[in-house]
Amino acid sequence: MSSTVEVADRMTVRGIELEVARHGTGQPVLLLHGMQTFDPRARFFQLLAAQAEVIAPSHPGFGGSPRPDGFETIYDLTRLYLDVLEALPHDRALPHDKVTLIGCSFGGWLAAEIAATCCHRINRLVLVDPFGIKLGDRETADILDVFNTAPDEVQRRSWHDPARWSPDYDAMTDVELTVRARNWDALSLYGWHPYMYNPRLSYWLRRIDVPTLVLWGASDGIVTPTYGRAFAGMIPGARFASIEQAGHHPELEQPEAFASHVLDFLNA
Amino acid sequence: MDAWWQCEVPYPFVPQQVLDAANSVRGSLPNRWCDPRIAADLFEEVIDEFLLCDDMGLNVIAIEHHAGINSLLSANPLLLGILARQTRKVRILSLGTLVSLRQEPVRIAEEYATADVISRGRLEIGFVKSGGSEMASANANPVNNVERYWEAIDLIRKALTHQDGPFSWQGKHFTHRHVNIWPRPWQQPHPRLWAATGDPQTAAEVGRRGMVQVLVLRGPEGTKRAYQAHRQARVAAGLPKVTTDNFAYAALVYVGDTDEEGISIGSKLLWFLNTSLRSAPQYSRFLPGTAPPHIAAQVYRSRPKTDVAAGLANAEKGVTPANQNAAKLMAITPEQAMAQGILFAGNPDSVYRQIMEFYDKVGGFGHLAMIGRSGFMTHAESEKGIRLFAKEVLPRLREIGPIPAE
């Protein structure tokens, strides 16, 4: 194992540099963000960090993480995070050799890919409104095309309360907007085609052999709770739970309910 | 100087209230608003106009756009095939089949070689980068569009020139293990290559490759900068200097008997800008990959700091991003369009003078690409403009030979 991990806001794994937010102590939780990177000041982040060590990298190309040349597929991301999982337990001689893996939205797709590949460093898996599989017939898209849909409509379908949660670009700093533009480009690169799913993943979800919780915002209009229940049904023993008054980002819209679901699952 | 005529075959007959209610007239407007009988009439008229160009010795251009009122030419090779057979004299520029949207560059090479042979060597091949709603229409990832563009061009060029049996291509975006096209092109080693582009990075690559560079409606400053980038890249690479024959400019052009007629009918061409450019935000300012993130971020704002954005864009790319250029063009008036070298219109003397003023401002160019019919311009008006241009303006332009581009 030639990889190393630095305890800082950067982490380098097998030559790939990641920006990473780390908060809290205790059971390590690897948190994979979705279409946008997480702000560690977010309420849900702090609630988790009160009882666990939350390790939240920005995927290459997102946030402040560089993207190596040619690194542009889900295949690359899956192998990168398998390496991260190998490296984390050696970091600071943590007493834990396993990590709880949480993935939201696009990051939920990654988490499912990682767990379907290899679970031996994972003790629990939490998928939050994940993308990643194809369920509907060939003329029914499961996942709203966020690139080819009017931005207002994307926001309307993203949130239970769009008036409160839709981003206000006019109020953002240049740096925040630049991060959003980086995130958008990276998301398009990884997820454009086939749009936000791997045609073979649903077949292999049966390989996931750790306790799994699938959480879903009841008002998610990007990808529906019906899809979520079917997704959970493909993972052996997975439990599905819905979070009321939340859309595609229940961790942001209902941080208390979200954290309570996750922490109960972690401590069970 | 050579001149080339084109018509995008726009479809302006959608009721205005439908257009006003749509957030985009490209990409997403339902095609029930396109009456195929009207479309057939338009194609018939425009193909007749291309044939008139052939009679008058004016070269022709076949373009391609997808899924919008701006153009019904979604299948460039079909028009190319018609022009290759039906015209007899003039040169034909495909500008072009949209290469980065298509999965099979080898098939494109077959189409081009076939058109070159049918026309007995009158084909010129142009490549357009595409953007905006074309990405949605073609399922094409906008983020690595430029990479696909160059790789497709490389593969097409090799397919056109390789004469020794099957070769293999295993590139980043395209793999094709057994390439061996029949027929091979008429022109050897291959038809002349063109590229339509505005940004200096691409312009530099176009320059290094010795392709003809077309600037479309960019005005004098953007055009001059792009030509300069082309020339400077050649110097930096130690390549021989090119002449003005490597440079082309595309503008709206209409010639009438009088200035009044030329400007009044020529102003109808502005429909192309005022009406047919309107594109939803997901196809324009929020399209991934169209500008570096620190520039793209500026246009996220509902009240963009335009000066800042333009300044950054100028520093980074040498020109404003295409979507900002489009925003400026949509609001343009005939007077502004004429002042900025977007529209050349008037009587033959005036149009010649306007072209030459622009020529002097940008350091010269060897090809004028005329957007010659758009919007509600009638077939009769279009044919009159073609005749007047070809008789009264073209002979004067022909006297301007290529000069070394300094």
Q: What is the mean pLDDT of residues B266-277?
A: 94
- Give dist(CA A222, CA A131) in Å, integer: 9
Are A192 and B294 an interchain contact pair (Cβ–Cβ within 8 Å)? Answer: no
Which pLDDT band, with edges at 50, 70 and 90, does A1 fall under?
Answer: very low
Do residue A170 and residue B294 have CB atoms under 8 angstroms apart? no
- In angstroms, the CA A185 to CA A234 distance is 31
Which residues on chain B are in Cβ contact (under 8 Å) with A150?
23, 280-282
Rounded to a whole number, what is the distance in Å from the CA of B208 to chain A's nearest CA? 23
- B141–A192 CB contact, under 8 Å: yes
pLDDT of B278:
87
Cα distance from A209 to chain B (closest Cα, Å)? 35
Query: Could you tell me which chain A residue has the CA closest to the CA of B27?
Result: A148
- For helices B379-388 and B36-56, the axis angle rounded to 10 degrees is 10
Where does the pLDDT of residue B330 fall: very low under 50, low under 70, confident under 90, or very high at 90 and above? confident
pLDDT for B324: 67
**pLDDT one-digit tens code per residue, B149-196:** 999 999 999 999 999 999 999 999 999 999 999 999 999 999 999 999
**Taking a C-beta distance cutoff of 8 angstroms, is the pair B131, B142 a contact?**
yes
In the block, tokens 């400007």 appear at B263
A91 pLDDT band, cuts 50/70/90, is low
The answer to whether residue A184 neighbours chain B at the CB level (below 8 Å) is yes
pLDDT-derived band at B320, boundaries 50, 70, 90: low
A122 vs B320, residue with greater confidence: A122
Kindly state whether B286 is in contact with chain A, defined as any CB-CB distance less than 8 angstroms: yes
Residues of A in contact with B302 (CB under 8 A): 169-170
Cα separations (Å) of B81 from B54, B359, B364?
15, 33, 32
Q: What does the mean pLDDT of chain B come to?
A: 93
Domains of chain B: 2-278+333-398 (3.20.20.30)
**Average pLDDT of chain A, as a whole number:** 94
Residue A182 φ/ψ, nearest 5 degrees: -60, -45
- pLDDT tens per residue across span B211-248: 999 999 999 999 999 999 999 999 999 999 999 999 99
* Section B318-326 average pLDDT: 60
Strand partners, A214: A127, A240
B71 touching A (Cβ < 8 Å): no
Mean pLDDT comparison of A116-120, B130-134, B298-302, highest-scoring range: A116-120
A82 contacts A110 by C-beta, under 8 angstroms: no
CA of A39, closest CA in chain B: separation in Å?
Answer: 18
Q: Most A CBs within 10 Å: which of B24, B29, B141, as the mutation test of the A interface? A: B141
- Give the residue from chain A lying closest to B24, CA to CA: A150
Please give the residue of chain A at the shortest CA–CA distance from B133.
A148
A188/B301 CB distance under 8 A: no
Q: Each residue of A46-68: pLDDT tens digit? A: 999 999 999 999 999 999 999 99
pLDDT at B314: 43
Domains, chain A, with CATH or none: 10-267 (3.40.50.1820)
